Amino acid sequence: MSAAYIWAVIALMAVANFAVRFPPMALVSRLDLPEPVTRWLGFVPAAVMGSLVAGEVLRPGGQLTLSPTSPYLPAALVTALVYHYTRSFLGATVAGMAGFVAARALLG
């Protein structure tokens, strides 16, 4: 893999990732949004997180995995419970990773 190829990807990724973040922010913050649009935007965070988690946990690697021996679901439950009771983002992440390792060892 040539250095030029890698640097080209790095440069264009930097531009592209800024382009999806800044223009919408600059534009929308200068507009008066009608109520239905702000209501819609209010649901975006939960919608994105719901679909991200389902994708990561139920379709790891792009394949639907509902097997009882999949370590993803028990690890996600551990993460959710730890976050619910401790409100610690870090504690939940670490517990989830440990739960994943344990579930993989026990179920695999």
Binder among 50, 67, 106, 107 for other proteins (CB under 8 A) = 50
Output the CA torsion sign for 51, 54, 55, 56. positive
- Residue 18 half-sphere exposure toward CB, CA atoms < 13 A: 5
* Interface with other proteins, residue 68, by CB under 8 A: no
Angle at alpha carbon of residue 54, lines to 12 and 72, rounded to 5°: 100
**Residue 106 makes contact with other proteins by CB under 8 A:** no
How far CA 101 is from CA of 61, 71, 96, in Å, comes to 17, 8, 9
User: Residue 15 and residue 28: Cα distance in Å, rounded?
Assistant: 20
Binding status of residue 42 toward other proteins by CB under 8 A = yes
According to CB under 8 A, which residues from 83 to 102 bind other proteins?
Answer: 83-84, 87-90, 92-93, 95-101
Q: Which is nearer to other proteins, 19 or 107 (CB)?
A: 19
User: 3 to 32, contacts with other proteins by CB under 8 A?
Assistant: 3, 5-14, 16-30
58 binds other proteins (CB under 8 A): yes
For the chain, how many residues are written? 108
Query: For residues 12 and 106, which CB has a smaller minimum distance to other proteins in the complex?
Result: 12
